[in-house]
Chains A and B, each alone.
Chain A
Amino acid sequence: MKTVVIIGSGIAGLTCAVRTAEYGHKAVLVSPYPSERAQSVMAAGGINASLDTKGENDTVQSHIEDTLKGGCNIEDRESVTKMCEAAPGIIRWLEATGMVFTRDDNGNIDLRAFGGQSHKRTAFSGACTGKQIVTALIRKARQYECSGMLERKLGYWFHSGLIKDAKCYGALFYNENERKLEAMYADAVVVATGGQNQLFGKTTGSMLCDGYAAGKLFEQGAVLRNLEFIQYHPTTIETVQKRMLITEAARGEGGRLFYYAGEKRVYFMEDKYGARGNLMPRDIVSKCIYDAPSQVYLDVTFLGKDVILKRLYEVYELCMNYAGIDITKECIPVAPSVHFFMGGLAVDDSHCTNIDNLYAVGECASKYHGANRLGGNSLLAAVYSGMTAANAINEKECSREKADFNEFIIREEKDIEKRLRSKSKFSAVYIRQVLSELMNRDLGITRTESKLCEGIKSVDYYLSISDKFKFDSEVSPYQGYSLKSMLLLAKAILLSAKERKETRGAHIRDDYPERKPEFECASYATFINGNIEISFAKPYSDNKACKEEQ
């Protein structure tokens, strides 16, 4: 029996834990908070699979082609094929765990249209699909908690990988209850910590997803990939406390985008792309909204109150509650905002990183989505990647080799204690805020060389003083020690964006507006001898590119 430490308890982490336990291995699911607090519960619209319950002759092949095309042809066909082929089975597996899908009048799992897709392919559960999946997986996980095959560890913040000579032996955590570092040794470590939202402050996602794990593992030798591709979701709404997502399902159900020219409504997406214009891929819709001459609105009023309350109730409630807009009568003012990260830890087809025994799943891994993710493919990738990593770990030979990390752990403990006592004026809490301001300023929906260089210069300054950061004693030390690696990750993102001198998908360069064939590949960021290096390689060479960096 192997022991697998899984960091993060959202959909990808839960799936990996459940599958690991099913194989008869011990899954240790570690997170600061319970699964109900994970960002996965915020996923609204649905999960893609070519079930073809609408009689539209949808096929797995169409799903593959749509995904590759939506990702602007830089993703590996073989990896995408495997995921799309597995998708219908994943829906059946979720159903058998107790996931409550919305069904049509015949009792079939209903499907809705989503952006960039040639057929109705998105299975869903009202407008809270992520929450419904999480609820089902929690109960499945409980079955294995009861049998002792799955152990949950709450109150633990990731600190670092226990890595020696490009091999991972476990992970180090800050135990919030005991207020000390705690090592967990394992045969494999799976990172499922989500996206990099906090680099940008308040986004549509969770306040808990900050990219720290990816940044720290990068510092420890893991390769990062496609960092420049940051998805701006086209339809978000300003509220008093953050920008909130208006799910693509609103357009999937028929919602129309327009702006006013005088008193006349201009349905600019339909004018430019025809009847399905509102459901173009997100990168295209976001750019069109960004370029619109005045405020853009989303209109769903014509769907009627019954349809809205039945199929988009969560959107209705969110708008009413946080913006005072009754979407059965009024149009929703929308604008693009940071939503999803196509970039993350580079992984091979088994979701292993370039570090042996270290896996990455869900949004923190970069796979399948290329330069632009299609709606409904993130929940699919979360479940699929969790399963794939568990399968690979099950099949892999276990070496049982041990390594001693005591010296490293003592050194890190002393550093935290020293920083908590520090009288330095550089408060980590404030610098986190400054970081989000500069990322929003210099890495917006459109980018230029000069802005990116400004961003790099600012981040370099904060990195140069990172040894003087004071960990504010009144918040968790995690808020302090996470900052340096977040800054490093931010720099890697800015450098990746600077080096990709073209416009592709979510990466829009004002100074390089064309797509260029020489960039039809993935970008890789490596941290070698204290320097970040960016290189480009064809996506099908992911395995090779990763391993070569060791």
Chain B
Amino acid sequence: MIVKIKRQENSDSKAYWQSFKYNGNMDTTVAAVLDFLNYNDDLFDTEGNPARRIRWECSCMQKTCGACAMIINGMPALACNTFLRNISSKELVLEPLRKFPVVSDLIVDRSIIYENLKKAELYIGEYAGADKKEYEQQYQTAKCLKCGLCLEVCPNYNKGETFFGAMFANDSYISYTQSESRKKEIASEYKKHFASGCSKSLACVDICPVQIPTLASIGRMNKKIF
């Protein structure tokens, strides 16, 4: 299999494409392919030129941390959860996420996610107590990996300047329903940075690697505050 990767040494340098031959196990994931290329032997491209090791972000290797989000054959996904058996093309094409600045190769700077959550002051303050009706939805939304895939596919999310995207809607929902003292502030931020900008394409729902029912978060929030 040919693995074609969009490379960029650092944030200031120019991007270029480089291809590698992968002759390891085919019953595996994209994360394992990257590991194989990096550590099996010295790395050469398909032209026989020596190549830098491929930089990508990785922690859990089992769809729990969200580090390895990238674009795989045109689709944003987690490398550790994308299997070669599900890729019909003979070529594996890897690119960094497009809506975040590139740090190096497949690593991007996703700090805007945290800056926006901080900017909107999303925290609960005084705890409202457990609400049986909300348990399940709260449990599901708390699984958010902050991987950025929902922002990558969202037609309304650009650079996160005003519209903060689905992960923000989920965090707003859980904070709002758990807060006793800050409901008003959270609702206001939700309106400003999500409700007024979402065109409900729901691409975020399909792409979420942990299947967060974002539509339910949006529905519940809208019902509570409008």
Contact = CB atoms under 8 A, between A and B. Distances in A.
A206 B65 contact: yes
Interface stretch (B49-57, B151-159, B196-204): B49-57
A142 B117 contact: yes
A57 B135 CA distance: 27
A138 to B, nearest CB: 9
Given A36-B145, A103-B135, A321-B63, A139 B124 contact: yes
B224 interface: no
A37 B66 CA distance: 7
Contacts of B110: 34
A100 B65 contact: no
Contacts of A97: 124, 127
A142 to B, nearest CB: 5
Contacts of B142: 100, 131-132, 135-136
A474 B58 CA distance: 16
A34 B123 contact: no
A74 to B, nearest CB: 32
A207 B59 contact: yes
A280 B114 CA distance: 42
Contact of A39 (B28, B59, B118): B59
Nearest to A204: B62
Interface in A38-59: 38-39, 41-42
Interface in A193-247: 202, 206-208, 239-242, 244
B175 A139 contact: yes
B60 A206 contact: yes
Contact of A42 (B62, B66, B122, B124): B62
Contacts of B171: 139
A252 B57 CA distance: 34
Interface residues of A, number: 48
Nearest to B174: A98
Interface in A238-294: 239-242, 244
Interface string B184-199: 0000000000000000
Contacts of B35: 241
Contact of B31 (A38, A96, A103, A241): A241
A107 B132 contact: yes
Contacts of A244: 62
Given A33-B67, A206-B65, A41 B60 contact: yes
Most A CB atoms within 10 A — which of B57, B111, B130, B132?
A: B130
Contact of B59 (A96, A125, A152, A206): A206
Interface in B153-184: 171, 174-175, 178
Interface residues of B, dominant DSSP = loop
Nearest to A476: B55
A339 interface: no
B144 interface: yes
B65 A41 contact: yes
Interface string A97-137: 11010110001000000000000000001101001100110
B206 interface: no
A1 interface: no
Given A429-B53, A474-B53, A474-B55, A135 B62 contact: no
Contact of A95 (B52, B127, B138, B143): B127
A241 B143 contact: no
Which of B60, B67, B110, B114: most chain A CB closer than 10 A?
Answer: B60
A472 interface: yes
A34 B122 contact: no
Contacts of A331: none
A95 B130 contact: yes
A475 interface: yes
Interface string A452-475: 000000000000000000001011
Nearest to A179: B10
B139 interface: yes
Interface string B1-39: 000000000000000000000000101110110010001
Contacts of A131: 64, 142-143
Given A98-B124, A131-B142, A146-B123, A42 B114 contact: no
B121 interface: yes
B73 interface: no
Interface in A282-321: 318, 321
A420 interface: no
Contact of A140 (B32, B65, B123, B174): B123
A143 interface: yes
B81 interface: yes
Interface in A147-206: 152, 154, 202, 206
A125 B61 contact: no
A96 to B, nearest CB: 5
Nearest to B146: A36
A9 B48 CA distance: 42
B123 A241 contact: no
Contacts of A242: 61-62
Nearest to B131: A107
B194 to A, nearest CB: 17
Contact of B32 (A39, A107, A241, A433): A241
Contact of A142 (B64, B122, B127): B122
Contacts of A125: 139
A132 B139 contact: yes
Interface string B61-99: 111111100000000000011000000000000000000
Contacts of A433: 39
A208 B63 contact: no
Given A42-B64, A207-B61, A241-B61, A34 B39 contact: no
Contacts of B138: 100
B92 to A, nearest CB: 15
Nearest to B11: A177
A349 interface: no
A36 B66 contact: yes
Contact of B111 (A135, A154, A207): A154
Interface of A: 33-34, 36-39, 41-42, 95-98, 100, 102-103, 107, 125-126, 128, 131-132, 135-136, 139-140, 142-143, 145-146, 152, 154, 202, 206-208, 239-242, 244, 318, 321-322, 429, 433, 472, 474-475
Q: Which 7 A-B pairs have the closest CB atoms?
A: A474-B52, A143-B123, A135-B142, A240-B28, A241-B32, A37-B59, A96-B127
28 contacts: A33-B57, A33-B59, A34-B110, A36-B65, A36-B145, A38-B65, A39-B60, A42-B64, A102-B139, A103-B135, A126-B139, A131-B143, A135-B143, A135-B144, A140-B123, A142-B117, A142-B118, A143-B124, A154-B114, A207-B58, A207-B60, A208-B59, A241-B29, A241-B61, A241-B62, A241-B80, A433-B39, A474-B55
Given A107-B132, A474-B55, 10 more contacts: A34-B110, A36-B66, A98-B178, A107-B130, A139-B124, A146-B121, A154-B111, A202-B61, A240-B27, A474-B53
